[in-house]
Amino acid sequence: MTRASSSKRALLRIKCREALSTHICKLRSYDGSQITANLFVDKRLGLTIAPDKVRLQPLPSDGYSWSATGTTAALLKKGLSSGNIRFYQSICEELGRSLEAVPVQVLKRTAKDKANEGHIAELCSSSFTETILQLKVAISKLKEELSCAYEHLSQSQAENYRLDQALSHTRNELENSTFENSIFRNELLSSEVRIAKAIQVLEVTAGKTATESPEDLPMED
């Protein structure tokens, strides 16, 4: 590495540390009494951070941490003292965008939230699985009930067919009986007419016989 590159790298490291420290503190207004040897009073986190004390992997006791999204998270895996020119440039570019200083409590809360979300997801998954099982049992019962209903329907249709056949046979027998009764009735009427005529003939004959005189009767030899 050339002397010029080393010098540029050192300057960028200082600039990067100052940017990180300033970002953590973000003073809105201050006077000279608030700044001593590049110490910044943090009105957002309640911290006093010196640029040479800024870390990308702070301890919990430091009171702050970093929240990074996307590929920027990879920048937090390296120390500020061992970076290269591009490393420092990337931090300065992403600071305030995909790289933010946050209180330690935020990360703890985030971790807790993630745990809660995982628990909720697990409960939802368990509830969903239970619901699926209940649906499967309900569907199985419905299929069984439908099978029984179909069998009962088939039996009813067979019984209806049998009754329809029996009704048709009975109707035919009734029609035959009605026809035979009509024949018998006609024969009976004919017989009654013949009997009435025979009775009438007998009555006429009897009347004639009663009115004849004895002399009209034939003599015996």
pLDDT at 219: 55
pLDDT digits (tens, 9 = 90+) for 89-128: 999 999 988 998 888 766 555 555 555 655 665 666 667 7
**Residue ranges of the chain whose pLDDT lies below 70:** 1, 26-46, 48, 105-126, 212-221
pLDDT at 209: 74
Give the domain ranges of the chain. 3-102
Tell which phi-psi region holds residue 66, choosing left (phi > 0), alpha (psi between -120 and 50) or beta.
beta
Which residue reads 């009754």 in tokens? Answer: 163
pLDDT at 208: 76
Which residue reads 């020119």 in tokens? Answer: 85
pLDDT at 177: 81
